[in-house]
């Protein structure tokens, strides 16, 4: 196969003084931060559905993306050719991982049997490309939202035949993920929700969603798949309400249905925005439950009420994300998957490189700033001191469950009004700017 990007060489680290737009200014893959290589801290992944398949269409116009290696057909041969374009892209970019939906990498044909055979044929090429390049599958997933059969949901569809089709599709996607050595498998309920409650039995639908996930857990054990299962929260769009609406809702669902031991969360920044949260909020909710598994690294536009999937370039955002990642001990089976697309106006193949370089540099800077914050210790020291009254005396007894209302009433009668300390929000915001 001819090169997909013949005019682009491997992207090199040239440092912050470089003016080369096709060079890293901050991401130096083998540079040590706290004794660990940047590439191992960040574990970047390319999202196949955006990098290779997104036509850059929007609700007001068709696609603009120029992809010379892609003939636009729904053939297996075209899908196989696309594999090598993706791996050339990853190799020249210096990214170690990729993620896919089943219908991104292989065409959906007239029957499940034909689609499965096409998937197997493309998986042959993926396996060859992984062995040739050393690239790895971060996670796979099944597209249970694009086909018309899923217009009313997949596992939450009111039609049992649709549930069965979704389960069969997940089974095959898990088989291929396992075959390719995937480090995880993600469930995203693209249409697992409702448009209106007038035609919806919510409890029954949620129970059916749990049933499919229990089936997946059972099948995972049967085939010996050791990868981590993830659920990805999103509040709405395209549904009015989706059952995996945010981190707290996902955790509640997993606890209620006895699934928490089997799943962690794959959090996406733009989904956090749509849920009315910051990404840092969502991360802390997940981390508190020991359930943060992976991150879809993108951002959204707060002025637009839908999922714009933009590349992350805001250093405050990447710093906050990496601060939480470092505090939890780092990513293991998960990574930073660029679930992001070029803007519709940025349609040339080289724009894929510009976009990913910007995101990788932004996270490299965020990693360094976050590590400097932790090493310096002033923010952590302030937070620790702010809660110091719970470390001894009556506060320690409260946390240990050694006192009740009577004892606390007696404490207040004996000690009077408590003395509060300032939250120092402005001082801390200024301190963050020192690191930047």
Q: Which residues are catalytic?
A: 101, 104
Structure tokens at 387: 């809660």
Structure tokens at 15: 């440092």
Q: If DSSP codes are grouped into helix, strand and coil, which group holds residue 30? A: coil
Q: Measured between alpha carbons, how far is residue 104 from residues 53, 199, 309, 392, 430 in Å?
A: 7, 32, 17, 56, 45
DSSP class of 302 = T
Say if CB 432 and CB 366 are below 8 A apart.
no
238 prior amide bond cis, ω within 30: yes
Beta bridge partners of 187: 231
Pairing of the two strands 44-47 and 97-101: parallel
Alpha helices by DSSP H, listed for 14-137, are 38-42, 48-51, 76-93, 102-105, 112-133
Say if CB 293 and CB 265 are below 8 A apart.
yes
Residue with tokens 């682009």: 8
Structure tokens at 383: 């937070």
Structure tokens at 352: 């894929």
Q: If DSSP codes are grouped into helix, strand and coil, which group holds residue 395? A: helix
d(CA 115, CA 173): 11
d(CA 169, CA 219): 13
């Amino acid at each position: 196969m001819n090169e997909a990007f013949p005019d682009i060489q491997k992207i090199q680290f040239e440092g912050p003084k470089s003016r080369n737009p096709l060079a890293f200014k901050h991401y130096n893959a083998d540079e040590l931060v706290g004794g660990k290589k940047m590439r191992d801290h960040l574990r970047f992944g390319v999202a196949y559905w955006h990098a290779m398949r997104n036509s850059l269409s929007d609700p007001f116009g068709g696609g603009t993306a120029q992809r010379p290696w892609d003939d636009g057909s729904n053939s297996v041969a075209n899908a196989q050719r696309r594999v090598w374009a993706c791996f050339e892209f990853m190799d020249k970019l210096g990214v170690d991982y990729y993620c896919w939906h089943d219908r991104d990498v292989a065409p959906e044909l007239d029957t499940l049997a034909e689609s499965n055979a096409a998937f197997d044929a493309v998986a042959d090429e993926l396996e060859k490309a992984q062995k040739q390049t050393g690239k790895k599958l971060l996670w796979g997933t099944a597209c249970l939202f694009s086909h018309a059969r899923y217009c009313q949901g997949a596992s939450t569809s009111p039609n049992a035949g649709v549930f069965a089709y979704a389960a069969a599709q997940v089974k095959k996607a898990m088989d291929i993920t396992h075959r390719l050595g995937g480090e995880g498998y993600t469930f995203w309920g693209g249409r697992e929700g409702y448009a209106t409650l007038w035609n919806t039995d919510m409890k029954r639908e949620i129970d059916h969603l749990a049933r499919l996930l229990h089936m997946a857990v059972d099948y995972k054990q049967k085939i010996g798949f050791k990868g981590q299962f993830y659920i990805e929260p999103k509040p709405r769009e395209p549904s009015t309400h989706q059952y995996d609406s945010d981190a707290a809702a996902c955790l509640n669902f997993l606890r209620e249905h006895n699934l928490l031991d089997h799943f962690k969360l794959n959090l996406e920044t733009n989904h956090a925005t749509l849920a009315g949260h910051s990404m840092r909020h969502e991360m802390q909710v997940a981390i508190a439950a020991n359930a943060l598994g992976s991150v879809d690294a993108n951002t959204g536009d707060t002025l637009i009420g839908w999922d714009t999937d933009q590349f992350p370039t805001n250093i405050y955002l990447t710093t906050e994300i990496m601060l939480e990642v470092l505090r939890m001990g780092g990513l293991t089976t998960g990574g930073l998957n660029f679930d992001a697309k070029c803007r519709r106006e940025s349609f040339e193949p080289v724009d894929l490189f510009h976009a990913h370089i910007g995101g990788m540099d932004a996270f490299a800077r965020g990693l360094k700033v976050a590590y400097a914050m932790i090493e310096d210790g002033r923010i952590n020291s302030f937070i620790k001191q702010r809660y110091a009254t719970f470390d001894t005396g009556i506060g320690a007894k409260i946390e240990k469950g050694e006192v009740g209302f009577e004892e606390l009433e007696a404490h207040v009668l004996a000690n009077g009004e408590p003395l509060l300390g300032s939250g120092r929000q402005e001082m801390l915001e200024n301190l963050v700017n020192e690191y930047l």
